[in-house]
Amino acid sequence: MNPLVNINSLISSDRSGAKPTDRITRPTRAEMEEAVRTLIRGTGDDPDREGLVETPARVARAYREWFAGYDEDPDELLQRTFEEVAGYDEMVLLRDIHFVSHCEHHMAPIVGASAYRLSAARSGCGNLEVGSCR
């Protein structure tokens, strides 16, 4: 049983199997920045104020980076395994794995630590770091 699940396969409501990111037209950078300007005005502040004038561009870049994982396939990242495992049959526990995610309902950050148990005989632990550090 594979404990890793591609979340896109779970949330797709399209029977063709298309990932949600394949069905969504992403806004342009300018549209994202205008949305941030709207949010700033919604808080009662002036997006043209000196301290905020570059904020829409910074927020748009940050969100593109934070949500870049939607374009990645965890199965592809974790395909590497080791075949030379003679004498290794114990479990490996990776603890205190730092992660940053977002609540989809509030778009608020979630920061924490997790643990992952895997068979030392099959999995390449280095791939977990690649997947969790992007």
Residues 66 and 95 occupy one common structural domain: no
Residues 13 and 68 occupy one common structural domain: yes
Host H or E run for residue 111:
strand 108-119
Q: Are strands 108-119 and 91-103 parallel, antiparallel or unpaired?
A: antiparallel
CATH code for the domain of 7: 1.10.286.10
Residue ending a domain, among 73, 101, 122, is 73
Q: What is the pLDDT of residue 114?
A: 83
Q: What is the pLDDT of residue 21?
A: 56
Average pLDDT over residues 21-47: 91
| Positive or negative: CA dihedral 61, 63, 64, 65 | positive
Residues 6+ apart with CB under 8 A from 84: none
Per-residue confidence band for 133, with pLDDT thresholds at 50, 70 and 90: very low
**Which residues form the domain of 132?**
78-134
Average pLDDT over residues 61-77: 85
